Amino acid sequence: MTRLFILALSLAFLSCKTNSTHHSSDSPSTYGEQISAQKLKEHLYIIASDSLEGRMTSSIGHEKALEYIENHYKEIEVPGGMPDQSYLQTVPSSFFQRGADFGDSYNLLAFIEGSEYPNEVIVISAHSDHIGVRNDGEIYNGADDNGSGTVTLMELARVFKKAADAGDRPKRSILFLHVTGEEIGLYGSRYYADENPIYPLDNTICNLNIDMIGRIDPQKENNPDYIYLIGSDKISTELHEISEMANAQYTNLELDYTYNDDNDPNRFYYRSDHYNFAKNGIPVIFYFNGVHEDYHAVGDTPDKIDYDLLAKRAKLIFYTAWEVANKEERLSID
């Protein structure tokens, strides 16, 4: 009797101890709901400020943006994703076709190592550059394009790090990849995927790419709770199904596949950084709010971003990444 009582007490203690240090990964909303519209706003007012002069590839303003992003990762204690845990991958000026116009530029990598399958990597990406200052001296701030994706990546990393610190480290690793040179031809993602993948493409599970998710398409003004998804079903039906399930369970956005049509004349599938992963057979989702009157215009400023909607879209990306990262089996490819 006494021995049974002691055993029961020991089991109860172990149970309490486990529960206090480990939230069930069946409850990702513990973390996803911590994605903060206010933090997204604070970051974006810096990333899209006049002082960064539109973040043209390899410009001083672009390098200031990268310095700000790197400092964020250092502050939240997410190490760099390079082999020596530094953050910057040099994309040499010779790689750019217009090499005479551009100096070296940089992809920025931050990395959270997985607990069970650390060699399997989910890449969440966004381009950090924009189109800079035009001849008339006007600054093209690029708040939506792609300040919105940049700050979403920073906030996703913060929340995944909180999960890891609380004992819910993702089973697979997550690479937060800020690529350069998107606006001049998808150069940073091409350099990473084709020339120098820091993590082998064979073990790259999927790419979730974020490019413009802070505004509302004029055609959607009556139903702004939406996001356009492109590419989700083209390589892995399972990724598409996980995305749909995550949305139904947690965010309840309208998932609009208008631009996923193979015959879409806009050809958005080929026009952002996910494509350099997709062409290598890696499942992708491209998250996109559609174009608006301020696309590549001086009016793309941070005061026009819908921060609550940006946070909600960020949550969908978080939950999708969480499900893929914590599956028992790696994502299947059709």
Q: What is the DSSP letter of 126?
A: E
CA triple 150-154-157, angle to 5 deg? 140
In a domain, 331, yes or no: no
- Residue 185 within a domain: yes
The number of folded domains in the chain is: 1
Alpha helices in 28-89 (DSSP H): 29-32, 37-47, 60-75
257 assigned to some structural domain: yes
Distance CA 232, CA 260 (A): 8
The three-state DSSP-derived secondary structure of 147-169 is HHHHHHHHHHHHHHHHHHHCCCC
Q: Which of 18, 312, 333, 74 minimizes the C-alpha distance to 206?
A: 333
Residue 58 is assigned to a structural domain of this protein: yes
Q: Which domain holds residue 294?
A: 34-326
Q: Can you give the pLDDT at residue 147?
A: 98
Q: Does residue 172 lie in a domain region?
A: yes
Decide: residue 28, CB within 10 A, 0-12 exposed, 13-18 middle, 19+ buried: buried
* Residue 186 lies inside a defined structural domain of this protein: yes
Q: State the CB neighbour count (10 A cutoff) for residue 263.
A: 5
* Structural domain includes residue 104: yes
Q: Which residue has the tokens 């750019």?
A: 96
| The two three-digit tokens of residue 188, written as one number | 């940073």
Listed in sequence order, the residues at least 6 apart from 220 whose beta carbon sits closer than 8 Å to its beta carbon are: 226, 256, 290
Query: Residue 74, SS3?
Result: helix
Among the listed residues 214, 187, 189, 201, the one whose alpha carbon sits nearest the alpha carbon of residue 317: 214
The pair of structure tokens assigned to 167 is 């004992």
- Cα dihedral 276, 277, 281, 286, rounded to 10, equals -100
Dmax over Cα atoms in the chain, in whole Å?
87
Helix (H, G, I), strand (E, B) or coil at 334: coil
Spell out the per-residue pLDDT of the chain, length 334, in tens.
Answer: 444 444 444 444 444 433 333 444 458 999 999 999 999 999 999 999 999 999 999 999 999 999 999 999 999 999 999 999 999 999 999 999 765 578 999 999 999 999 999 999 999 999 999 999 998 899 999 999 999 999 999 999 999 999 999 999 999 999 999 999 999 999 999 999 999 999 999 999 999 999 999 999 999 999 999 999 999 999 999 999 999 999 999 999 999 999 999 999 999 999 999 999 999 999 999 999 999 999 999 999 999 999 999 999 999 999 999 999 999 999 999 9
Looking at residue 284, which CATH number applies to its domain? 3.40.630.10
pLDDT of residue 99: 54
Indicate whether 12 belongs to any domain.
Answer: no
What distances in angstroms separate CA 44 from CA 147, 214, 284, one per listed residue?
6, 10, 25
- Which residue has tokens 């920073």? 154
Report residue 324 as tokens.
């893929």
pLDDT for 324 equals: 98
pLDDT at 98: 63
